[in-house]
Chain A
């Protein structure tokens, strides 16, 4: 076991790794293999279609900057941890909770751009909450009845398709769930037996 495996792999010799700025961040599929030859070494990097690192390498870092306000924006950094606006735009992790205050609008825009905000929230302005879940210490148990609702929904769809054999299996599971003493596994066991 002397070899050192790389992260996020089942088998080596797969896709090249993403740029360091994007590693662990970018979930988009690799669309470009960017090879950089320096002397005798060739470094191959995997990049997505919209990779900001790729754009920077192809077009240069400051070609997009047109006016003084843009320049000021690129210089913006968190006073607590030093994380810059530019690093957030290339997908780097945030450095501290103050970053959320300082880069509020950019973070929301990035979440929207990545499809990580429900459509109904796209126009929520500061200081309205984006968060609808638990707050610290709040005890809010989730009951297994959610499973019952999901099975009922699946049952309705099965009946629409007139698959009565499948419907009977689903009905069995619903009945078993409504009896406290019987709990089938995963909602699949009876289907696959």
Chain B
């Protein structure tokens, strides 16, 4: 249970390096728990925080289905590494407020994160990029049940699992599905489709949790309720909603291809131009342009790069991931230029076929 600032677990590409998903990019499952009789982290004394890290850390090290887990104390992780974790696990919650008394457990496979004492005593997160949402959930429950044999979770029959944020009490389960629906967005049809699929049990937002700001054409489809529903209700509702949205996106792409849509050909061409000719580029502009390039690639308008490589470029253009690509320290004022250089290098074999 030692920590190391340069540990590869804090700078790893798995499971994103193998991601070749065109639309359904990935899903994440978050489960929040607190320990009975202990105050929640915001009101918890420092010595109690240490006890929690010690007890939960010990149990997780021995938990099933975790490949070589490692524990990292928050004061041994740099701010950039905390942001890397946030980006890696597609979290909208930052870990910068974690200075002492908080800790993280990561696994070798790069798909598991446990956070201790940030908001709740225990927050478990798993990334699923293979479309095996239900199996991934069953694996998470096994880990949660194993820990639950050593500690009693804060639970009441009325409110279920009690969390610091009442909005996730009950099941304590938040499932997010990340869908890159460039076709619907660029045909300007997304609002109409979302109105048609309208479901009060589903919350739709952008990657940063803001429902009005969509970045890189990625919509996050999440369960809106954690109370009054079973875990099975949550998964079936999300599966159903996401499958319908996926189907609409496939239809939109088919239509764009059949109609040889000039407007979208122009957008893809301009996006390619921006990416290969920019000297400075902001992350949001880069992510939006890469998404258009991915759309072009799926329609056969772009050659010389695979969907997998474009996904990797997409994830690595984010600030902390970009900085992790370079061995040397990048000064703040050079980040935008370094991002441009990184993109130029990744796209050097790419050709526009329009």
Contacts and interface: CB of A to CB of B under 8 A. Distances in A.
Nearest to B336: A11
B283 A11 contact: yes
B145 A137 contact: yes
A93 B167 contact: no
A4 B96 contact: yes
Interface string A78-95: 001111000000001111
A6 interface: yes
A188 B22 contact: yes
Given A24-B119, A188-B21, A97 B215 contact: no
B134 A144 contact: yes
A134 to B, nearest CB: 6
Given A150-B240, A154-B247, A10 B319 contact: yes
Interface of A: 1-11, 24-25, 27, 29, 80-83, 92-97, 100-101, 104, 107, 110-111, 114-121, 126-137, 139-144, 146-147, 149-151, 153-154, 157-158, 161, 163, 165-166, 169-170, 183-189, 191-192
Contacts, number: 262
Given A5-B96, A7-B97, A149-B240, A96 B39 contact: yes
Contact of B229 (A4, A95, A118, A191): A118
B225 A118 contact: yes
B134 A10 contact: no
Q: Nearest 8 CB-CB pairs, A to B?
A: A7-B94, A131-B160, A186-B131, A150-B239, A95-B43, A133-B171, A93-B164, A1-B80
Contacts of B96: 4-7
User: Which applies to chain A's interface (DSSP): helix, strand, loop or mixed?
Assistant: loop
A97 B215 CA distance: 37
Given A10-B207, A93-B42, A116-B227, A158 B247 contact: yes
Interface stretch (B146-154, B184-192, B267-275): B146-154
Interface of B: 21-24, 34, 36-40, 42-43, 78-80, 83, 86-87, 92-97, 119, 130-135, 137-138, 141, 145, 148-149, 152-167, 169-171, 173, 200-201, 205, 207-212, 215, 224-233, 235-236, 239-240, 242-244, 246-247, 250-251, 254, 282-284, 287, 298, 318-320, 323, 329-330, 332
Nearest to A83: B43
B251 A93 contact: no
Contacts of A1: 78, 80, 323, 329-330
Contact of A131 (B21, B93, B157): B157
Given A10-B287, A136-B153, A150 B93 contact: no
B227 A11 contact: no
Given A5-B96, A142-B134, A150-B243, A10 B40 contact: no
Contacts of A191: 23, 246-247, 250
A131 B171 contact: yes
Given A95-B40, A117-B227, A121-B228, A192 B235 contact: no
B212 A29 contact: yes
Contacts of B235: 142, 146
B162 A100 contact: yes
Nearest to A142: B134
A134 B171 contact: yes
B261 to A, nearest CB: 18
A163 B251 contact: yes
A8 B94 contact: yes
19 contacts: A1-B78, A3-B79, A5-B79, A5-B83, A10-B208, A11-B284, A100-B169, A116-B167, A118-B225, A133-B171, A133-B226, A139-B145, A140-B232, A141-B138, A149-B236, A150-B236, A154-B246, A183-B132, A188-B250
